[in-house]
Chain A
């Protein structure tokens, strides 16, 4: 209702006041006027302060893009607020959005500032806040405007980066300038060896102690430091398990997104070029790039991912196009044949591929409501059996699979891949 209307309190005061005054007239009872007097005065003040403005309310968020678990404030702009004394806001609950106060109901005087609601998204993705009802009240609570319905704002919630660090170098750095030790010598900082001076060597690399001892100029060599290409492949074909939001139980897609976010942040911070490919019916990819801005693009893409199956004709021709030397990290719960096939294809091409298993340890009851628990349990056991077969097949191909466990998850695997990269290889093209 977008008009000022009398409140029940004003109606009550007017009704009681009028009837008591009328009763006093009819029965000649002055005591009724004494009882009615204060109510009549309250009603009179309410009538006198009837607003004439037509308020406009608009909700806004302090931040529309947040990491899950962070908080922001939902504010309400009230324009044409002449004659507004009190504001009441009632926000509906939305999935994975925590409110403070928890009831989503706040009220207060305009002179103290329009009351704000504190909001904290508890899970990554596009979150639509609950619809909000807003009511304005005039001085002396004579008239009320609303409640009017305000549609909930949308916010982009980035997956929280799980703590991650990696001490291993990329297996095949093939870039320009970075922090990964290359097999070729160059202008790095670490010691690789000492060799006789060649024309073109930098004078500051001359090792004078060895040169004086041998009588010939010798220089210190060091491995080049190069950046590496990293392709993150995110399996968003389905979401297994139930998500309790940040700090709660994690579904497979929660683990996938948080791991992808942590890996992207780590590699970008390391100066590497990172690309993203989302495997789902919805699709989505971010090209190779570096820098904080590129990281925001990747996180933004992760925030809009929704689980969706591939079309039947898409599954057979899934190609994860990537260039040589790129480290491919596949984040998947490994419950899809499509992902197994695509991963094995990359492995056969000789690319350094590693799979991060994102299936949570304690995936709960996966049966939907109305499904026979026995049937659901049987189906789940079949899926687990298929998954074991995928894992065996990948191991046979020499593709390492590690469960996501945060810091150090990839250290050992990347060390092994780096050693393997130095060996002669046969590639299938």
Chain B
């Protein structure tokens, strides 16, 4: 049996699907560009009084798309160690994301008590959670990759 066939035996159909689901390596830079651009524009419109109401939400969504593009872009050489590091970073981002989602209302409540403000404390916005999880995934993946 050739090595190619052995390799195919070890891979399930789901793994095949996931490997095809990834974007080519150059998309990593495209994703980074989208994130930087949306971040700059979000910072700029913060100082503009007459910004359209949909603009902020739109740019936040663009930023999440940019991070997702970085997250699912392949490496130049996508080997088994990279796959393991990527899996670890997703697992870590999921666990930290769940803990963050559970703790954030409590932290908000405590901060509001200290500051004496009256803000909604039981809402965790999906944007914050998604942004946090994607940032954790991308950050830890790069960290693991550098220390491999």
Q: Do A and B come from one complex?
A: no
- Could you tell me which A residues sit within 8 Å of B by CB distance? none
- Could you tell me which B residues sit within 8 Å of A by CB distance? none
